[in-house]
Structure 1
Amino acid sequence: MSRSIAAALAVLGVLSMSAPAALAADALEYGRNITLNEAKAAANAAEAEARKNGWAAVITVVEPNGQTVLSWKMDGASYAAPGVARRKAETAAGFKRPTKAFQDAVKAGNLNALSNGALAIEGGELLIADGRIVGAIGVSGATPEQDGIIARAGAAAVK
């Protein structure tokens, strides 16, 4: 992240949002692009978690630059979910943090977190391999909390 972008985000209050230390924006670097096989593994794990709980969702995996690697819609997921899942994945990848960090900031009264284009709804998670960001997963279709559970299951499948 360039210093000017980091400075702008700090002014907006984004970098000061509480997030686990391991997911602090300055602590993680971008790495290689996620492979299609890794994206499939993440999506399969996410879908398995959704099915286990009886939830229908859309699962989208993006590269670190936000470009879509894969996206699929489970039977019964809402028609609006594909766009939301993509935006969650793009937000997580672009800002180097789960979308829940933005949701928590807004709940705490930091409305500046919305002015940077981030989607402040749980369900976007980073995909980390070899200690670097290789992509992100976005899930939409259930409640935000359920989307987060599904996305974290997918993220855990990438090593």
Structure 2
Amino acid sequence: MSTTAVAPLTTQDAEVLLAAARRAAEATGVTVSVTVLDAGGHLLAFRRDDQAVLISGETSTRKAYTALQLNAPTADLVEAVKPDGPFHSLPTALDKPLLFIAGGLPVHRDGRLIGAIGVGGGAPEQDHAFATEAVAALA
């Protein structure tokens, strides 16, 4: 295991992620909420578009939290929590609710988990694409 320090996700990084996700959504005419969390699950940035559905604020935050806690895109976890899936009880097993809908992505730097982004408001595959574009913009 390497002991090399990896720079944490900064507020400047969070603003880059938020802006890139919003640009991607805006280009397709979708209004969204975007949440960026640091490695400890603390809020670094949040924005809800004026016309975004109100619940998108909650879903973007839960998607980011889920991606962070499981270090995986939420899109990759949907099948695992279905009734016959290996993690079917996970959504209700914890105090803080997880959300297994596409749109949450972990954020890595030098191979280490440094935070997560969640996008809500569009169709799940759109939210996933917007989050993916945001993470690519940070690289």
Q: TM-score, normalized by length of structure 2?
A: 0.85
1:114 matched to which residue of 2? 91
CA distance in 2, matches of 1:68, 1:118: 16
**Aligned residue pair count:** 130
2:29 matched to which residue of 1? 54
* Matched-pair contact (CA < 8 Å) for 1:57–1:74: yes
2:118 matched to which residue of 1? 138
Task: State whether structure 2 residue 49 is matched by structure 1 residue 69.
Answer: no
Deviation at 1:107, TM superposition (A): 5.1
2:55 to 80, 92, 101: 80
1:40 matched to which residue of 2? 15
CA distance in 1, matches of 2:50, 2:40: 28
Q: Extract unaligned runs of 5+ from structure 1.
A: 1-30
1:90 to 48, 59, 65: 65
Amino acid at match of 2:11: L
Task: State whether structure 2 residue 105 is matched by structure 1 residue 128.
Answer: no
CA offset digits 1:75-113 (Å, max 9, x no partner): 210111111111110111111111112213235831244
Deviation at 1:115, TM superposition (A): 4.1
CA distance in 2, matches of 1:104, 1:32: 33
Q: TM-score, normalized by length of structure 1?
A: 0.75
Q: Extract unaligned runs of 5+ from structure 2.
A: 1-5
Aligned residue for 1:136, secondary structure, equals strand
Deviation at 1:48, TM superposition (A): 0.8
Distance 1:64 1:58, change over 3 A: same
Q: CA RMSD in A?
A: 1.9
